Structure 1
């Protein structure tokens, strides 16, 4: 077992605000430590291949950043910690991109390509350990309800603004930017789901569909760029397949984006926080 990492039962680890947490600060620390400890344990698990390990660690980083965006209004260290976690994830980017390129190539019917497994980049484990030390003392200031309302509202507003930007200029860069905020909104729905599971779960599911569609679109964009850099340019057949799949993903994403935009972010946030208060009082 990794030093300083608690033993975690995956069935009890909850990426969710719960009534058991006395305060929002308690939720912040618990959820952060669960994600960090899970990452440290993954690094010590010989059964995990490098591809799955990198995937798991990047997922932990994204969940942590989503958590921080939820409480950033009352979290003085939010910007610094968000940047630190972003930099940790970037250490893993080359391994992840290599794996995604090969998977995308295979899914489009490309010829088999051999791949050498890369070692875990230096600094990842130390970065997780240092993050754990800090997360155990993370502190919030302000009223919990106000912190949640502002965090939920701002991320939903950024998601809608990114959607409008992508609608105005349909580019891979704009869709990737939209995906960032759609993913944080998805994580916020996960974190708030206990407030009223039925209605929020439905929103959570559609936000996940949107984030994953935009993620697949980005993977295809990276793949097409790599194809174009080849000595003979992009093979026509693979290029056509990739672009066709991107168009289908764009249609799916824009349809979902219009539906999400029908809810005003501030109204949505106030409703969820009101449900959260009721769930804690019941």
Structure 2
């Protein structure tokens, strides 16, 4: 099934169903033993953690922290190969935007060295299998989440906190726009909100679909910005990967220009996405969800 909570079903059961499906997909992806499988598994873990944030209050602080922490740690076990691959993808996006600058033999050798780092990443098939086994155990534990509330009350606090955290992160970025880690923190909160919009799109599919698209655009801008930040740090820590000094300078200049473009684009979208105060957004979404449930009861929404 798709990544959504169906308005016509019991909410607590839907939460457990989605958690089980996401973790099952993560395990299935890891069993393929491929880089794409690792990438897909990490996405499924991020989706599951966003789902847990949606119900963090009814779960309770201790239980939420335990399960969220376990999923975070398992995702980190899969990070080395993916992080190396992200540098190649960031490089390729720079090339797409300025083929002339990156057409030289020296620049092509840089890409070859970045690609070699992916193949040298320490992750193994056995490591992926061990992570898959651990996820199977977590999946069994999350099969019946202890959730007592019903309807939108089950996740109202989670929606408000996730959205509010993103709004605070935006304000921090506005105060310190050159602070790369603050932009990265904002990106994480944006992705949490994006996943939750996807989960709750039954509330009003057309409106939530438009918001989902805007959040994906925002997350993509911030994700590319972070990859470029990491690439810039890699250049400083391992300059031999990037060739002669003049080649390094050209790369840093291209990174700076692109990061400036991405920041401007992110702020245009972000200020609109986070225009409402959290309590206003939560109350409006609660009304949408109530209507969606009524429509589902009348057979207008499955």
TM-score between both structures, scaled by the size of structure 1: 0.89
Report the CA distance between 1:51 and its aligned residue. Answer: 2.3
- What's 1:4 paired with? none
Q: CA offsets, 1:29-77, max 9 Å, x none?
A: 110111111122222336xxx3211110110011001101111111132
Give the structure with the higher percent helix. 2
- What's 1:155 paired with? 162
Kindly name which structure, 1 or 2, has the bigger radius of gyration based on alpha carbons.
Answer: 2
SS in 1 for 2:148: coil
- State whether structure 2 residue 9 is matched by structure 1 residue 21: yes
1:191 to 189, 199, 202: 199
Rounded Cα–Cα distance in structure 2 between residues aligned with 1:216 and 1:91: 22
In 1, are the aligned partners of 2:6 and 2:14 still within 8 Å (CA)? yes
Query: What stretches of structure 2 of length at least 5 have no aligned partner?
Result: 95-101, 296-302
User: What RMSD over aligned residues (CA atoms) do the two structures have, in Å?
Assistant: 1.8
Rounded Cα–Cα distance in structure 2 between residues aligned with 1:105 and 1:208: 21
- What's 2:133 paired with? 126
Report the CA distance between 1:143 and its aligned residue. Answer: 4.3
Report the CA distance between 1:20 and its aligned residue. Answer: 4.6
- Displacement over 4 Å in runs of 4+: 231-234
- State whether structure 2 residue 70 is matched by structure 1 residue 57: no
SS in 2 for 1:194: helix
Rounded Cα–Cα distance in structure 2 between residues aligned with 1:135 and 1:34: 11
Rounded Cα–Cα distance in structure 1 between residues aligned with 2:210 and 2:90: 29
In 2, are the aligned partners of 1:213 and 1:249 still within 8 Å (CA)? yes
In 2, are the aligned partners of 1:192 and 1:272 still within 8 Å (CA)? no
Larger relative contact order, structure 1 or 2 (CA cutoff 8 Å, min sep 6):
2
Query: What stretches of structure 1 of length at least 5 have no aligned partner?
Result: 1-12
In 1, are the aligned partners of 2:7 and 2:203 still within 8 Å (CA)? no
Deviates more, 1:211-220 or 1:145-154: 145-154
In 1, are the aligned partners of 2:55 and 2:154 still within 8 Å (CA)? yes
SS in 2 for 1:263: coil
In 2, are the aligned partners of 1:193 and 1:200 still within 8 Å (CA)? yes
TM-score between both structures, scaled by the size of structure 2: 0.83
